[in-house]
Amino acid sequence: MAFVWSLEVVRSASVTVQSNTVLDSSGIYFVSYDGLVNVNSFEISGIITYNGYQYATWYNSNRYAMIGRRKLGATSWSTAQLSHQLSTNDSHNVVVVGISPQDGKIHVALDCHSTTMYYIVSVAGLATNPGSTSWTASQFGSTQTTLNGVSLGSQVTYPQFVLAANGNLQLSYRIGVSGNGQASIAEYNGSSWSVLGVWSSKSGTYTSTNGATSTARNLYIHGYTYKGSRLHSSGTWRETNSAVMCNGGGLTNHDTVYVYSDDSGRTWKNSGGSSVATTGSSTLVSVSSSNIIVDSLNADHGLMNQESQAVDSSGLPHIAISYVPGRFTQCVTSYQSARTSYGRAFHLYKNSSSVWTKYEIPYALNSVGRSQLVLDSRDNVWVVLPFVRVAVATKAGGYTDWTMAYDGTSTGLGAFGEVIVDKTRIQAGENVLSVMYQKSSSGSSSEVHVIDFTLNA
């Protein structure tokens, strides 16, 4: 893998603020696990676009799950309060949305952290003809603890919807707990849900650079992205044994791994095309799977889990990762303070020669939190750093010409660190980046916004 670092930039790309709309003037606000429940970066499907309309989910100050809808380009939202209230002040317990094209239903998954997941689904056709359907709570059913009778178990976290290449709606989620869990997939075929099974292993032995071993872990995924018929997923391992770190104040996350599937998540291959796993079998993506590591890093650098990924027009994966570079320290003793003071984001990608390349984005994180990565129609890479700071590097510039296209800090946006983005809108070829953020607050509620940027590059 090649590694490049430079501060030289060429200012050849920019953004234009198209609009900044308020989803909720009083969204629930509390900080837990360094994040907010309404805009936690791992929400792949907290805001999505389908059939000319955009949908977003969050919790209001009364703890109710909310879902909003607007026609693309509109400056106001129609909102509906759903039947479920947030059960606990835990930022893991996000609310996400997906749409099944076969029947036009809108699916909502929510409120779980190694607990039972809640699920709400709309009437058929609600997303099929949005311009002629009313947007009211009565269009959505009651809260369930199964997927219409299909149980996911009692230890579910990180539900995220994604539309598969075959038109089925898939749900990615973790079963188990941090450091001892597995990535799993369920699928809706337009009439019923089924569980495909787990595809990552929690077992095997990892030996750290300090000689300590760990025998249990979970794979935290950076994304679950279709390009054509190929499904791409990258992630990092989190070990259960804290002895793999140089200091107990760090994170046990290590290495960046990448796999892909050409059959909608049934079987998995490594970057070189060799088979490594079959979902629901005894052969899963594991810490010992061959040639899945695309960037090696031990557990001493505060490597963050669940960052971001995208796939370019040639089907090549691009990943955002972040950690504390070795030039600052070789042993992170407090991941919160070290990432805030010294953390950097990196652009990790597979180039046209099939070589994995990593480039440091030349701006400090100034935050514990994660960033979001998207690619425009010309394969330029845009990274939304904490506090809605939008950095860009162009394909023509070899992804080395980083510039800050928008700085939400200097413009006084007042955003809390992490944000979520509408990746489906970008993937559809529209060069508009929708960023959902929540304003920082000293109270128990604050405004939830969606700011739209036109990407000029």
Give tens-digit pLDDT for 207-264: 999 999 999 999 999 999 999 999 999 999 999 999 999 999 999 999 999 999 999 9
Contact 106, 89 (CB under 8 A): no
Give residue 457's pLDDT band: very low, low, confident or very high (50, 70, 90). Answer: confident
Beta strands in 112-252 (DSSP E): 118-121, 156-163, 169-177, 180-188, 193-198, 206-207, 213-214, 217-221, 225-227, 230-239
Give tens-digit pLDDT for 358-379: 999 999 999 999 999 999 999 9
**Distance (Å) of CA 10 to CA 168, 200, 306, 378:** 42, 41, 29, 17
Boundaries of every domain in the chain: 2-36+174-456
Residue 11 has pLDDT above 60, yes or no: no
| 24-48 per-residue burial string, b: 16 or more CB within 10 A, e: under 16 | beebbbbeeebbbbbbbbbbbbbbb
What would the mean pLDDT of 326-334 be, rounded to a whole number? Answer: 98
What would the mean pLDDT of 82-88 be, rounded to a whole number? Answer: 98
In DSSP notation, 33-95 reads: TTB-SSS-TT-TTSEEEETTEEEEEEEBTTSEEEEEEEETT-SS-EEEEEEEE--SS-TT--E
Beta bridge partners of 194: 187
2-36+174-456 domain in CATH 2.120.10?
A: yes
- Mean pLDDT (the chain) is 96
Query: What pLDDT, on the 0 to 100 scale, is given for residue 112?
Result: 98
Helix (H, G, I), strand (E, B) or coil at 360: strand
Residue 116 has pLDDT above 60, yes or no: yes
From CA 96, how far away is CA 121, in angstroms rounded? 12
**Residue 351: φ, ψ to 5°:** -90, 180
pTM of the model: 0.96
What would the mean pLDDT of 28-34 be, rounded to a whole number? Answer: 97
Tokens representing 134 are: 């009313």
Query: What pLDDT, on the 0 to 100 scale, is given for residue 2?
Result: 55
Q: How far apart are the first and last CA of the chain?
A: 27
Tokens representing 171 are: 């749900």
Tokens representing 451 are: 């700011």
What would the mean pLDDT of 4-17 be, rounded to a whole number? Answer: 64
Helix (H, G, I), strand (E, B) or coil at 375: strand
Give tens-digit pLDDT for 396-415: 999 999 999 999 999 999 99
What would the mean pLDDT of 76-94 be, rounded to a whole number? Answer: 98
From CA 169, how far away is CA 164, in angstroms rounded? 6
Give residue 10's pLDDT band: very low, low, confident or very high (50, 70, 90). Answer: very low
Give residue 5's pLDDT band: very low, low, confident or very high (50, 70, 90). Answer: very low
What would the mean pLDDT of 59-72 be, rounded to a whole number? Answer: 98
Give tens-digit pLDDT for 287-300: 999 999 999 999 99
Side chain identity, residue 18 = Q
The better pLDDT of the pair 4, 30 is held by: 30
Nearest to 54 by CA among 454, 450, 455, 457: 450
